[in-house]
Chains A and B, each alone.
Chain A
Amino acid sequence: MDNNALIRRIIRSKETYMLLLPGVIWFVIFAYIPMYGLTLAFKTYKANLGIFGSPWVGFEKFEYVFRDPAFMESVWRTIWINLGRIVFTFPVPIILALLLNELRMRRFKRTVQTIFTFPHFLSWIIVASVLINFLDMQGMVNGIIRMFGGDPVNFLGNTTIFRPLLYITDNWKNAGWTMIIYLAAISGIDTEQYESAQLDGATRLQTMWYITLPGIMNTIVVMLILATGYIMTAGFDQIFNISNAATAKAGEILDIYIYRITFQSAADFSFSTAVSLFRSIVNFALLLLADRICKMLGSEGLFPPIRKAARARAKGAA
């Protein structure tokens, strides 16, 4: 009886399914089939047999992967570079948002905000081109150094400057945009809190520290968890365009390693897929771990807001 009712409802909704059909077909072909393609990590890829037909070999490829010293090096390099991002780029948009929020001059505020967000809309190729021109041996920064009688610095070809260069350029491009997220969170803070703080005679710095910052703590935590989830991935576009022959080794993060072994040398697609599957699993594990730790520290974590929203939506629908 119940089954019949369900079938009747499905038939009645057939037009809705027709709306979903084009999108669902796209997701199946271009998202779910490649996801299934990750099983290639446990197969030996044969071009004539394709993803589906290639024979299974178990964990053999993973043994080769872990035996490649360049692989383990790139794993550690990725972790260190991206932990550095959490220290040197993660707090910057928060600080910018706090500072900009205190700014009273409306027009100046809007101008600064516009300037800060602009580089976000350019590709890393354009941003790298602009900054390479600015920082290379003939660039303007070295021009200024020469003017004051200093020796020009090779900012771009130096492996010790490479990591700071990554953090600075990352901030240059993206900090202003991420700042908008925090500004949005700040605008959601209850104004009553500010009024009572003012009545209590709090200074503006005190209000910033005791009201604004705690007010956006949940947003900060969510962003931190997401950043942790990207520890094995972040930075391909940036490093691919900022690094050069002199810094190639210092910038070989996991994604660059995958690209190099797959598309620049004799490709073993199964081997590369094994690496990329390893990367996805570590990412997901880190995401869950960060979420768990944040919950232990008493924060809401990543999933409750999503779950809550889904529940509210389901309730609204019923």
Chain B
Amino acid sequence: MAEVKTMPEPARQTVRRRRSSHNRIEPLDIALVIILGVLALLIVIPFINVLAISFVTQQEYLKTSILLFPKEFTLENYQAMFEDGRIWTGYRTTTILLLIGVPINLFLTTSMAYGLSRPDYPFKRFFIFFVVVTMMFNGGIIPMYLLMKQLHLINSLWSVVFAYGINAFYLIIMMNYFSNLPIALSESAKLDGAGEWTILLKVILPLSMPIMATMTLFYAVDRWNEWFNAMIFIRKGNLTVLQLALRSIVIDSQISQQLNVSNIQTDKQFTEGMKMAAVIASMLPIMCVFPLLQRHFVKGMLIGAIKA
């Protein structure tokens, strides 16, 4: 910093000139725009391609090699997708999972996070350790499967609901949020004779709507994208979750295609269009909440990053 103060006059002038050139476009700026723009296109184009195929007829699909905008617009593929029925089953199961699962996630996470954030009680550090250990070790899928079997939850949606009850990372983020609330709030309520549960419901939660919204989104997206536990615990066809329904429509058929390439264009129905309609159908809710997601996730992550 000393150098700055004793800087000779010519140098100062160059600084001023650099300042004034701050808004001029340099070659670097052009290079950056090109590189980042191309990368962004590489992410966007596959999605546009999927969207276009889902609205297109088989003839046009076979004719055009670069399909980004349908010329003959058709909804037949979506009709075929709903007639197939697997996506409906998936929607139904995942919606039930969301409606039962997310409130349970929120109840477990909020009550425990608030409990952990209380300033002073015996064994507080033990309980935090108790949570952190689960972030580093877990039993893995086999003990979990056997546990579900012993609890008679196999082939029941409850197995998936309970297998993912608390996400320890979310719990810590929430605990940090509660720790930063002014302590006087709960103290004064306590003097009025309110119990901890009442304080949580009546005093803390109304002040915690931003974090509650973030957590709801976190858990809802996780539930929407959930498939591994469902694949292991549920073998009943009418309880297939959405992601696995999509997998059975798109990926399973691709796996067999790799072995005999010839059958693709002999299908009576236009399966490619139907598959892409299914992709769009399972992506749509995420796309709708994405603007919200982006805001909340970035904020949530910044809170987490600063605290950790």
A160 within 8 A of B: no
Residues on A with C-beta less than 8 A from B247 are: 125, 241
Q: Is A34 in contact with B144, judged by CB distance below 8 angstroms?
A: yes
B139–A199 CB distance below 8 A: no
Q: Mark A138-156, 1 if CB is under 8 A from B, else 0.
A: 1010011011000000001
Q: What residue of chain A has the Cβ atom nearest to residue B278's Cβ?
A: A129
Q: Does A115 contact B (CB under 8 A)?
A: yes
**Secondary structure type dominating chain B contacts:** helix
Output the least CB separation between A194 and chain B (Å). Answer: 12
Among the listed A23, A130, A269, A305, which residue makes an inter-chain contact with B142, where contact means beta carbons less than 8 Å apart? A269
A103 touches B143 (CB 8 A): no
Assuming the A-B contacts A147-B66, A262-B142, are A309 and B290 also in contact, with contact meaning beta carbons closer than 8 angstroms in the complex?
Answer: no
Give the docked Cα–Cα distance between A176 and B294 (Å).
Answer: 12
Q: Is the CB of B283 within 8 A of A133?
A: no
Q: Are B130 and A24 in contact (CB under 8 A)?
A: yes
Choose the segment among B69-77, B78-86, B162-170, B206-214 that binds chain A (4+ C-beta atoms closer than 8 Å). B162-170
A122 at the interface (CB under 8 A from B): yes
Q: A157-B258, A172-B43 are in contact. Are A37 and B142 (CB under 8 A)?
A: yes
Interface membership of A57, Cβ < 8 A:
no
B275 touches A133 (CB 8 A): yes
Q: Write out the residue numbers on chain B whose beta carbons fall within 8 Å of the beta carbon of A37.
A: 139, 142-144, 146-147
- The answer to whether A22 and B111 touch (CB under 8 A), given A27-B131, A51-B150, A125-B246, is yes
Is the Cβ of A123 less than 8 Å from the Cβ of B166? no
Q: CB-CB < 8 A to A108: which residues of B?
A: 33, 36-37
**B256 to A245, Cβ gap below 8 A?**
yes
Contact call A129/B246, Cβ cutoff below 8 A? yes
| A19 contacts chain B at the CB level, 8 A cutoff | yes
Does A238 reach chain B (CB closer than 8 Å)?
Answer: no
Residue of A nearest to B265 (CB): A138
A105 at the interface (CB under 8 A from B): yes
Q: Which residue of A lies closest to B19 (CB)?
A: A198
Q: What is the minimal beta-carbon distance from B224 to any residue of chain A, in angstroms?
A: 8
Interface residue stretch chosen among A6-14, A62-70, A78-86, A292-300: A6-14
Q: Is A131 an interface residue (CB 8 A)?
A: yes
Q: Interface on chain A toward B: helix, strand, loop, or mixed SS?
A: helix
**Which of B18, B29, B118, B283 makes the CB contact (< 8 A) with A198?**
B18
Distance in Å from the Cβ of B284 to the closest Cβ of chain A? 11
B95 within 8 A of A: no
Q: Say whether B225 contacts A122, CB under 8 Å.
A: yes
Report the separation of the CA atoms of residues A131 and B142 in the bound assembly, to the nearest whole angstrom.
Answer: 31
Do A24 and B127 touch (CB < 8 A)? Answer: yes
Residues of chain B within 8 A of A269, CB atoms compared: 142, 146
B140 contacts A273, C-beta separation under 8 Å: yes
Whether A126 sits at the interface, judged by CB under 8 Å, is: yes
Q: Name the contact of A130 in the complex, choosing from B107, B111, B127, B279 (C-beta under 8 A).
A: B279
Given A36-B139, A184-B301, A199-B4, A19-B114 contact (CB < 8 Å): yes
CA distance A118 to B283 in the complex (A): 11
A285 within 8 A of B: no
A37-B139, A126-B246, A199-B7 in contact; A244/B255 too (CB < 8 A)? yes
* Contact for A31 among B46, B114, B134, B195, CB less than 8 A: B134
Docked-complex contact B32 and A156, CB < 8 angstroms: no
Partner of A111, one of B29, B40, B114, B115: B40
Interface membership of chain B positions 219-244, coded 1 if the CB is closer than 8 angstroms to chain A and 0 otherwise? 00100010110001000000000011
Per the 8 Å Cβ criterion, residues 146-195 of A in contact with B are 146-147, 156-157, 172, 176, 180-181, 184-185
Q: Hey, which chain A residues are within 8 Å of B59, CB to CB?
A: none
Nearest 6 pairs of A and B residues by beta carbon: A37-B143, A34-B139, A23-B112, A143-B65, A19-B115, A13-B121
**Extra inter-chain contacts (6) besides given A16-B196, A236-B228, CB under 8 Å:** A26-B165, A27-B134, A129-B246, A140-B66, A143-B67, A199-B7
The contact sample of 30 A-B pairs, CB cut-off 8 A, is A16-B118, A19-B111, A19-B196, A26-B165, A26-B166, A30-B144, A30-B162, A31-B134, A33-B147, A35-B143, A38-B139, A99-B35, A103-B33, A105-B29, A108-B36, A114-B294, A115-B43, A121-B221, A123-B243, A129-B250, A136-B257, A140-B49, A198-B18, A198-B19, A245-B259, A276-B141, A280-B138, A310-B125, A310-B128, A317-B124
